[in-house]
Amino acid sequence: MFEDLDNSSIKSRTIFKVNVWQRESNPDAYTPKMVSIGPYHKKNTQLGPMKKYKLLYRRRFLQRNKRLDVKSYISELEKVKEKVLKCYEDIEKFGNDSHEFCEMLLFDGCFVVEFIRECCGIYPKGEDKIININDSYIFRDLMLLENQLPFFVLNKLHFMTKQVDEFSLAILADKLFTLQEMSPNYSFTEREYCNEGNIKHLLHAAHIFSCHGLNPMKNSKNDKTSPTVMPNATELSEAGVSYAKVKNMTSLFDIKFENGLMTIPYFQVVDGSETLLRNLIAYEQQSSDVDPTYFSDYATFMDHLINSEKDVNLLCQKGIIENWIGEDKEVASLFNKIGKGVTTYSNFYYKEEIKKTIEYREKPWNRMKANLMHNYFSSPWVGASTVAAIILLILTTIQTILTFTGPLKK
């Protein structure tokens, strides 16, 4: 048993099964709907209809390099089989049938590589796209933590069939993320793209590109206190905090609080938002080498900020959230559930912002000023009435003073 434990190489695992406490609030968010990739969902019979499309993609893949046949690719995959097995959890049974396992790697790997190429417009002239349905349905499944192949497998297959002028797989993946409107507005250098050895799988590539350019040392000071609970958006608004959408957004995580103003990047809530966020969070939560855990910390911060549909409505009015999934209470439920089971650490990315908001709310003058604004200047008409009442009070006071002082002067 101890020998098996050592052989399992826990530290080398990069493609995990999602923990029970994260899965239980929404199991569907971690389950493929269209296509299975890798061993975890291989036996899901509901995904059988995609097999014919996988065969079509494999045929196109094999036509790219006529000098190599299926046996050649299987032979190359045999060389990395043991390394691949160590990337997964509890799939030792596949090690007993080396050919079956490598056949699966080739079958699924061809599909992923060719699908990425197709989305980037790299397919034979005169031919149509093999899959004409909305790309986002397939993309959704390719971003599931349990639905991954190691990136070095995909990279090997791509390299064996790429044309001389074809981009690397990392660049093509970034183009795919851009097409799906989830890539940041950063310019990557060729050196950063070429560092493909650090990419573990497609979901990790999405994580890398989303977090590029952020400061990982932001909260690495001597302050090791755990993050405290922050008031929700409505409570902060009642204490005088105002909200604004970040201009020239470069990152989802660029949340700032200064002098009573909280700026938050725009976030469009669509049908696939929860699935993507959940899987990126699950990857962070189960990876020992991801630090800081940007998506986990973002989900925790938004869970604090959003407690009910009133908070969502407030952020929607400010243009921070755009709701495409239904009622505001559904968005509130999304953020409240997505934060369950998420662990935060002493280097919590938004620790300073939470600290500042709490200090701002506790100042009596800020609460008094906010109370005046809410009760007496909540709208132009209320404000005009308040000003008119103050002027009338001043004039009445002056008239009273003059009434008493007039006879004295005589």
* Each residue's pLDDT tens digit, 327-357: 999 999 999 999 887 888 888 999 999 999 9
Crossing angle for the helix pair 151-161 and 202-211, nearest 10 degrees?
A: 100
Handedness of CA 136, 141, 145, 147 (dihedral sign): negative
Greatest Cα-to-Cα distance within the chain, rounded to the nearest angstrom? 119
pLDDT at site 397: 80
- Give the residues across from 263 on adjacent strands: 244, 256
What φ, ψ does residue 262 adopt, rounded to 5°? -105, 120
pLDDT at site 374: 53
Of 296, 306, 304, which Cα lies nearest the Cα of 349? Answer: 296
pLDDT at site 16: 95
- Give the residues across from 357 on adjacent strands: none
pLDDT at site 377: 47
- In a 3-state reduction of DSSP, which class is residue 244? strand
pLDDT at site 186: 53
User: b or e along 333-366 (b: 16 or more beta carbons within 10 Å of the residue's beta carbon)?
Assistant: bbbebbbebbebbebbbbbbbbbbbeebbeeeeb
Q: pTM score, two decimals? A: 0.86
pLDDT at site 159: 96
Q: Which residues of the chain have pLDDT under 50?
A: 365, 370, 372-373, 376-377
How far from 313 is each of 86, 162, 237, CA to CA, in Å?
A: 47, 49, 12
pLDDT at site 407: 61
Residue type, 144: L
Residue type, 351: K
Cα 45 vs. chain centroid, distance in angstroms?
A: 29
| Cα gap 14→297, rounded to integer Å | 21
Residue 292: cis peptide before it, omega within 30 degrees of 0: yes
Of 61, 45, 170, 161, which Cα lies nearest the Cα of 107? Answer: 61
pLDDT at site 28: 96
Q: Write the Ramachandran bin of 266: left for phi over 0, alpha for psi from -120 to 50, otherwise beta.
A: beta
Q: Please answer whether residues 157 and 110 qualify as being in contact, where contact means their C-beta atoms are separated by less than 8 angstroms.
A: yes
Residue entry with tokens 């700026």: 263
H helices present in 63-131, as ranges? 70-78, 81-85, 98-119
| Cα gap 371→378, rounded to integer Å | 10
- In a 3-state reduction of DSSP, which class is residue 257? strand
Q: Please answer whether residues 70 and 17 qualify as being in contact, where contact means their C-beta atoms are separated by less than 8 angstroms.
A: no
